[in-house]
Structure 1
Amino acid sequence: MPPRKDKYLRLLCRFYEPLVLLAALGKTRGTHTSNPQDTSTTQSKRRRLLRNLSYLCDYEKGGETTSSIGLEENEHYFIFWLASNATRPRTCHNIVEFLQRTFAQIHSMITSGENGRGHAEHEFIDKCIEFAKSRVRKEIKLLSKAIEKCEKHLDGTKIIQDSQLKTWLNQFSQESGKSRADVCFQAYNQRKATEMSWLEDKIDTNNWETCLHGQASPFSTVHHYLGRLAAHVRRPKEVIEDSIALSHLFDEYKICAVQPRPSCKRPEADSLTELNSILGRMLPSHEAKVGEYKEALASLDQKFNIAHRVRRTYADENFQPRIHAEIQILEHFCTNQLKFVDNDSYIGCSKPACYCCHLYFQNHPSSPVVPESHQKIYLNWGVPDLPSGVMDPGYNSQRDLMNKMAKRIRQDALEQIKQKAGPLKWHADSLTEFTERTAELPPTAKHQGGSSFERHLTSLNTAPALHKSASNLQMQFEDFGESSESSFEEKTYSTTGLHDELGADFDSDIDSEGGVAL
C-alpha cells in the first residue's frame, strides 16, 4: 500500500516532513536548557550519580556510545538499567562490562572506609580515563589544534601576559608528551589558575569579531576542550562522592541492559514531498495567510537552498532513524511497569537530550522528568516500530504523542518561515563545565525563556554588527555543507559557526552533558 494510503505510514510521513523542513532551516533550535544543579538532597545526589555514570559509559565521541541509565527499585534489590545508542552488540557488551567493574570498585571504596581511599580514587579515575581513551585522545588532538591557532594570535602581540598565556597553554598540547591521564588531571588542577581568567578575557574580547565571520574563537574552543578534559577527572570524583552518600544503592543491586527495540522505518519521499506541498499540510485548511507563508518560504529557499536540503535528506542513505538511549529506558520502564526509585522518573544520560527527545519527554503520558537539552535536531531519531501498524496496541498512544510533538515542530518551522529568519548560530552539544561568566555574556546567552527565534532576534538586536548579507550567509551555508563530507577530525574541529547544521547526526563535536560549575 502506498505510504499516503496506509494510516501508520502516513503518521510517520506527517511527522518527519515538518521535522526535515525544520532541520533544513537550521538544526540548532535554541540555547541549552539546564536543570537545577543543587546536590544537597538525596534526590539531587541520585540524579547526578545516574548522569555521571552514564557519562563514564560514553567512551567514544560522535554519539554512537551515548548512554542512559534508569534506576529501578523492587522489593529485593536495585536494578541499574542501561541503554546505549550503539547498534553493535559488542559495544553494548563493553559498556556493561565496564559498568560492572566500576561498581565493584565503588563497592570496595564504600566498604573499606577512609583508609586508602585517596589511592583508590586516583586508580578509579585512571581506569575511567583509560576506558574513554578514544574520546580523550580526540579531545586532546582537537585542543592541540585550537592551541596552535591561539599561538598564532599571541605571537602577534608584544604583551608579556600573552607570552605567559602561550607558555601556559603549551602544557596541554600533544607536543608536551604527557599521557592522556596527565593532561586530564592538568586541566582539572589548572581550572582556577590565573591564566584561565586571562584565557576567558581573550574569549570576551575576540568573540564578537570572530562571530562576524561565522566562526568560533579559538580561545573559546581551547576553553571548551579544557573543560571537557577536566570533566574526565571531575565526573569520577563526583561518582565516588555520591556513591558513598548513597551507599545503600550498592548493597544489593543488578546491572541490566535494555534490549533495544527496532525503530520506525525511515519515510520515503514521493511526488508530494516538495516545499509547497509540505507547507500546505502544515497549515490549517482555513489559513488565510497561506500565500504569505509560501512567499516567505520561497524567499528562504532562494537564499538557503531549503528545497535542495530537504531532497538531500530524503536521498541520504545514512538517514536511518534509531531509538535514542533515554527513550529506550523510558519505554522499557513504561512497557514493563517498573518502579523508579522513590517514584523519581529521572533518567540519566551522558549528554543533553536532542530537540526530539526533549519534546518526547515533555509530551509523554507518563510525565517523566524532562531532561536538559542542547536543542539541536538529529534526524536519525525514531520511535519504537509498530509492526502491526494501526492494529498495534500501542498505536493510539504513539499517535497522540507524535501528534503533540509534530504540533510544536510545525509551530517552530512556521514561526521561522514567517520571520524569514536564517539559521541560529551553531553551538556545541555540551557546555564547557567551567563556571560560566554569565555577567559578561550577551543577553541571549543568559535568557532561556521564550521561543528560539525570540532569542535569535534578541541576539541580533544585541549585536547589530552580526547582521549579515544574504549572500554572505548563503556562502557560510555552502561552506559547512561541503565540510559534511570531510574526515572526523576536520568536521569536528571546523570553526565555521554553522558547520554542524548539515553534518552527520552522530557527528557532534562535543558529546557530553554539562553545566555544573567546577
Structure 2
Amino acid sequence: MVERVYSSLESLWEQIQQDEARKLYPRLALFEALSGFKDKQKPRQRSEDTICEARRDFLDSFAYLCDVQKGGKTVTAAALQKLHISNFLWLAANEGVGDDILDYAMDVLEKLKTATSENQSTLQDSIFRLAVEKCKPRIQFYRDEVQKYARNCRMALRHRERDDIVIRLRTKLKKLSEPPPSLTVESYVDLCHDMRSAEINHIKTYSATAGDDFSKLAHYIWRLGATRSAANTVVEAMITVPSLHRVSQIRRVSAPETVEKTVHPSCMSPHEVLHGIFADSASHNPLQFQYAFNRLYQLDPPLARPIYTKMASREKVVTRVHAELQIADTFSRSRDMEFVDNDKYIGCSKSACYFCYNWLCNHKHCYVQPATHHKIIPGCRGPDNRLNEMGAGVLIDMYSKISRQIGQDIFEFLQQNAQPRLQYMSTEASSRAPSQLSATRD
C-alpha cells in the first residue's frame, strides 16, 4: 500500500514537472517577451465595510514596514487568523522572514498595542523612526534616486516660465537634490511624504513621456514617502479596528526554497507555444488564430527574432513561491484556520504580480482580489513543499487554470495589436482602494 501511494505521488510530481517545463513556463516566458505587463495597475477589491477596509490597510502597511530591502527577497505578506480569545498575525516573505525582521515586527506590534487617540501622533513618529532605521537599505536607494532626478528636473525647470508653481517646485527640488546637513533622514522622508498631493501632480504635468526624468522623480518621491504613510496607517488602524487589539502573537511561514526550473528545449519557439495555446483553446476559429500567428510573425521576424531571443534567456529560471501564496497555502491546508471576520484578504508590501493575481483569483477558497501591478514574472511557482497526493492534484489543477489564462491573455494581446507596457511594479500613487481612515499627514 505504501509503495502504491508513493508511486502515485511520484507520477503526479512527474506530471507537475512536465506541466511546468512544457506549458506554464514557456507561456510565461512568451507573454513576458511580448508585453512585460498584462495590463495597467489595478486596485484591490473594495469592501463597503469601513472597519474591513481599515483592517486591510493595516495588513498592507504592516507588511510594507517589514519589507526592508529594495528588490524581491523581502517582499512581505500578512494575514489575520481568528482564534477564540485572540488573533494571530501571520507574516511571510519571498525568501523567508528572518529572525531580525520577526523581532522588529514584534517591537512594532508592542508599540501599536499602546495606541490611543491621545498618543496617536507621538506613536506614529515613534514607529516611523523605528521603520526608517530598519529599512535603511530601501530608503537609501529611493533617496539616491530622488536626489538625482530632483537635480535634473530642477535644472530643466530653469527653462520654464517662472510662475508661482515653478518657483515653489524649484525651491523644494533644491532641498531634495542638495539636502542641508541638518536635514535628517526622517525629515527627508517626511518632505517627500508631504509632497504627495499638489507637488507630485505638478511634477507630473511636466512629464512628456513615460520614464522621463519628471515621471521618475514623481515615482520615487511617492515611494520614499511610503514609509511615513505606512507608519501612520498602522497606528490609525489599531485605534479604529477592534480585532487588531486582540493580536497576541506574530507567526511566520517557513518559506519554500528557491528552485531553478528549466523550460523544455522543444518549447522555446514562440510559434510552437502559440500552437499549444491554439490546441487548448475552446475556440478553434482558424481566421482568429491566423491573425494571431501573423501578428507574432511581425513581432518576431525571422532575422532579428527578438521574442525568441528573450524567451531563450528564460530557458533556466530561478523561481520563488511568492509571499502571498505562502500565506494562502498555509490557510488552505488547514481546516482549523479561519480569517478574522471571514475576510480572506492577504495584505502585501507590493501589489501582486500577474501570476499571483491569477492564482488568488482562481483559487477555490475565493481569496479577496488583491491589488496588482500585472507584471509578468516567470520566476514564480505555486506552493509545492511537503505535498501529499491531494496537494499535488490541487497544484496540477491550479497550473492548468493558470496556463489556460496565460494562453488566453497571449491570444488577446496578439488579436488586439497591443503594445508592450512600461510601468512600475510599485506605484506613483496608491494602487489600493482609498483608505477609509483619516489621512494623517497625507
Instruction: For residue 350 of structure 1, report the CA deviation from its aligned partner.
Output: 0.7
Mean Cα displacement is larger for which, 394-403 or 13-22?
A: 394-403
AA at the equivalent of 1:57:
C
Give deviations 1:75-95, integer Å, cap 9, x for gaps: 2421111100125xxx52222
Q: Aligned equivalents of 1:239 and 1:86: distance in 2?
A: 24
Q: How does 1:157-196 map to 2 (within 5 A)?
A: 157=160, 159-161=162-164, 162-177=166-181, 178-192=183-197, 196=199
Q: CA deviation at 1:160?
A: 4.6
1:100 counterpart = 2:97: no
Equivalent-residue separation in structure 2 for 1:62 and 1:335 (angstroms): 29
Distance across 1 between alignment mates of 2:270 and 2:77: 36
Deviations along 1:340-376, whole A, 9 cap, x unmatched?
A: 1111111111111001111001100111111010111
- Partner residue in 2 for 1:79: 88
Structure 1: unaligned runs, 5 residues or longer: 435-511
Higher relative contact order (CA closer than 8 Å, sequence separation 6+):
2
Structure 1 residue 42 and structure 2 residue 51: aligned?
Answer: yes
Alignment partners' CA distance in 1, 2:143 and 2:385: 43
1:252-299 Cα distance to aligned partner (Å, 9 max, x none)? 511111112356751333234322222211112766345544332221
Of 393, 398, 402, which aligns to 1:401? 398
Q: Aligned partners of 1:148, 1:386: CA distance in 2, in Å? A: 48
The Cα shift of 1:73 comes to: 0.8
For residues 344 and 172 of structure 1, do their structure 2 counterparts lie closer, same or farther at Cα, with a shift above 3 Å needed? same
Q: Deviations over 1:26-48 (max 9, x none)?
A: 21111111136678622111111
Cα separation, partners in 2 of 1:421 and 1:160, compared to 1, 3 Å: closer
Q: 2:140 maps to what in 1?
A: 137
Distance verdict in 2 for CA 1:117–1:367, change over 3 Å: closer
Provide the aligned C-alpha RMSD in A. Answer: 2.7
Q: Which residue of 1 aligns with 2:6?
A: none
- Kept in 2, the 8 Å contact 1:73–1:341? The answer is yes
Tell whether 2:34 aligns with 1:25. Answer: yes
Provide the secondary structure at the position in 1 that maps to 2:338: coil
Distance 1:515 1:432 in 2: 14
C-alpha spacing 1:37/1:143, structure 2 compared with 1 (3 Å): farther
Greater Cα shift, 70-79 or 170-179: 170-179
Q: Secondary structure at the match of 1:394?
A: helix
Give the CA deviation at 1:392.
Answer: 2.5
- Kindly provide the amino acid, as one letter, of the partner of residue 60 in structure 2: R
Where do 1:105-116 residues align within 5 Å? 105-110=111-116, 114=118
Matched letter for residue 359 of structure 2: Y
Match 2:215 to one of 216, 220, 224: 220
Q: Which residue of 2 aligns with 1:503?
A: none
Equivalent AA in structure 1 for residue 398 of structure 2:
L
**Pairing 1:431–2:427 present:** yes
How many residue pairs match? The answer is: 416
Structure 2: distance between partners of 1:220 and 1:261: 37
TM-superposed CA distance for 1:223, in Å, is: 2.2
1:186 Cα deviation from its structure 2 partner? 1.9
For residue 78 of structure 2, what is the aligned residue in structure 1? 69
Please show how residues 258-277 of structure 1 align to structure 2 within 5 Å. Answer: 258-262=253-257, 266-277=261-272
- Aligned partners of 1:239, 1:323: CA distance in 2, in Å? 26
| Aligned residue type for 1:25 | L
In structure 2, stretches of 5+ residues that fail to align are 1-10
Distance in 2 between the 1:92 and 1:306 partners? 38
Contact 1:351–1:513 (CA<8 Å) still a contact in 2?
no
Equivalent residue number for residue 504 of structure 1: none
Tell me the residue number matched to 1:329: 327
Q: Which amino acid aligns with 1:185?
A: D
Match of 2:4 in 1: none
Aligned to 2:356: 357
Q: In structure 1, how many angstroms separate the alpha carbons of the residues matched to 2:247 and 2:293? A: 61
Equivalent of 2:64 in 55, 63, 84:
55
| Letter of the structure 1 residue corresponding to residue 297 of structure 2 | A
Residues 1:296 and 2:295 are matched in the alignment: yes
